[in-house]
């Protein structure tokens, strides 16, 4: 989260917001929610709070997210078009 912004100081309040969730949900749940958020690629306080609120941290993670499948369409030129 600190590396996502040009100036790390801009992320301090977001980090404090996440750490503050420890008081309401406890450290083990917060740690599990943060692990799930990392798998999903989301770092927003709102996302982590939603994971905790819906108790998704207590469910086993579904694994790594799958990359999107390549599109096959008549209007999409392939790499051979540019050679």
pLDDT tens digits, 26-82: 999 999 999 999 888 888 999 999 999 999 999 886 666 566 777 777 777 777 887
Residue 26 is predicted with a pLDDT of 95
Question: What single string gives the DSSP state of each residue in 15-75?
Answer: HHHHHHHHHHH-HHHHHHHHHHHHHHT---HHHHHHHHHTTGGGSPP--SPPPPPPP--TT
Return the domain boundaries, the chain: 2-61
Residue 65 is predicted with a pLDDT of 59
Please state, in angstroms and rounded to a whole number, the distance separating the CA atoms of residues 40 and 61: 10
The answer, as to whether pTM is greater than 0.85, is no
Residue 71 is predicted with a pLDDT of 74
């Amino acid at each position: 989260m600190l590396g996502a912004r040009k100036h790390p100081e801009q992320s301090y309040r977001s980090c404090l917001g996440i750490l503050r969730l420890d008081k309401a949900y406890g450290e083990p749940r917060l740690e599990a929610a943060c692990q799930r958020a990392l798998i999903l690629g989301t770092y927003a306080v709102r996302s982590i709070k939603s994971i905790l609120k819906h108790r998704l941290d207590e469910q086993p993670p579904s694994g790594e997210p799958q990359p999107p499948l390549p599109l096959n369409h008549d209007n999409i030129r392939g790499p051979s078009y540019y050679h």
